[in-house]
Amino acid sequence: MALLVIAACQLMVVLDITIVNIALPHIQRSLDFSTTSLSWVVNAYTLTFGGLLLLGGRAGDILGRRRVFVFGVLLFVFASLLGGLAQNAGQLLAARALQGMGGAIASPTSLALISTTFREGPERNRAFGVFAAVSAGGGAIGLLAGGVLVEWLNWRWVLFVNIPIGILIALATPRWIKESERHPGRFDITGALLSTVGMVLLVYGFIRAAQDGWRDALTLVSFGAAVVALTAFVLVERRSRQPITPLHMFADRNRAGTYGIMLCLAAAMFGMFFFLTLFVQNVLDFSPLQAGLAFLPVSAVIAIGAGLTSRFLPVYGPKPFMVVGGILAAVGLAWLTLTDVHSTYAGSVLGPMLVFSLGMGMEFVSLTLMALSNVPVRETGAASGLLNATQQVGGSLGLSILVTMFGTANSNEAEKQIPRFLRQATPVERERFQRTGELPPPWSDEVLTAGVSAAFIMAAVFAVLAALIAVVAIQVRPSDLQRLQGGAGPGPG
């Protein structure tokens, strides 16, 4: 029951990243977002989530993980209510940022609770397998749930649905989860603010570049300010007695490699869900429910990959699964670059999605176990927070880079399609184009598809980089295999 409560919270938090994706076209029309600014509906959540995860993990270590876990869940519920009631773009983005704060408090404590609730060995391996499957598969489940809610109700319910789930989790937690031991310490507020501000500025710079070009003054200022903030963050962490990001975590070769792999894979995964959702609804003309069902196989294959990996990982170690998983993800994404306006779901989308999903299922179990291997109990919150942070920050940063690629290819293709449209357009269509600046189908489909294909090329590069990091950086020692098999092995220092 403890695992069920923890997994339910992680599902709610991860699901919320993609459940909104399926509603993006409806949100865009309802609240007047542009296609490039639409990514902020995702990034407002993931940036605050990623930027504050380390502070959330630290809060659990100091104040007690169960208490912090419940507070994070309730804050998430409150923010979901505000987001569902939003009447304009600014209100929705503010609510999404507050949701990210709630998720940042709840998520790292949930992973740390697994480390302190389940014994090291097969029992904890299975628990991590469930947690990893939920973390990776929750995205696809979110797309299905979002499709059902948008189709039968409206886009606001993709936020309202969190309210009853979160309340049930908050009520069940005191019954089934014991409070953890508190570890004295203080909060590194300065570090948390600098890391969050730095990442927001960096992501904003990429999205601004997609809209206004790389020579735009505000784009350059944003990048410069991001470098200053992130440099200051590293300096603060080096001098702090109790940093929000214990830099010694990166001294371990395997753990540093794990964070690098997660950063790259999250960038690829967020991009896959974001752009494929737009493609199937806008080019293939899927309804929200059809789009959600189209992603259902992703969850099943991720669960299969995670289950097989958790079973054989004690025998072979995590490295083979990290390498093969990265290669499979890259193959799936490279395959998706071949999509065009004549593509079909069965012929061009399903196959690469399944290959990508199998790779991700293998990766998430391996990465979760490696990141928390050999970590002292007092630092499990920080270690789990850092893993989650790299996932969310990698997703936000990667999505912003992919949006930049998308925007550039979009603009280039639009220059080709506009003259073709004007030669064939009726006077009414020309007048509408002059008023809105938007091409109608099939010309708009050509423009969107060109941008999506370009984004998938970059996503495949991220996956290849993840596989290369696994080959070069990860080293599995005999003592690591011994711990995975339930033996004692050297304990953490």
Looking at 11-143, which runs of residues are DSSP E strands?
none
Least confident span in 81-85, 102-106, 213-217, 352-356: 213-217
Report the largest interatomic distance among the alpha carbons of the chain, rounded to a whole angstrom: 78
Q: pLDDT tens digits, residue range 306-353?
A: 888 877 777 777 888 889 999 999 999 999 888 888 888 888 889 999
pLDDT at residue 386 is higher than 70:
yes
pLDDT at residue 377 is higher than 70:
no
Q: What pLDDT is attached to residue 460?
A: 93
Among 399, 179, 383, 373, smallest CA distance to 268 is for 399
What angle is formed at CA 272 by the lines to CA 269 and CA 278, rounded to 5 degrees?
Answer: 145
Cβ burial of 433 (10 Å; 0-12, 13-18, 19+) is middle
Give the pLDDT mean for 410-435: 79
Output the pTM of the full model. Answer: 0.71
210 vs 243, residue with greater confidence: 243
Confidence of residue 488 (pLDDT cuts 50, 70, 90): very low
Give the pLDDT mean for 437-456: 81
Least confident span in 174-183, 199-208, 436-445, 453-462: 174-183
What does the alpha-carbon distance between residue 284 and residue 366 come to, in Å, rounded to a whole number?
35
Q: pLDDT tens digits, residue range 184-201?
A: 666 667 877 887 788 778
What does the alpha-carbon distance between residue 39 and residue 398 come to, in Å, rounded to a whole number?
11
Report, in this order, helix, strand and coil percent for the chain, each rounded to 5: 80, 0, 20
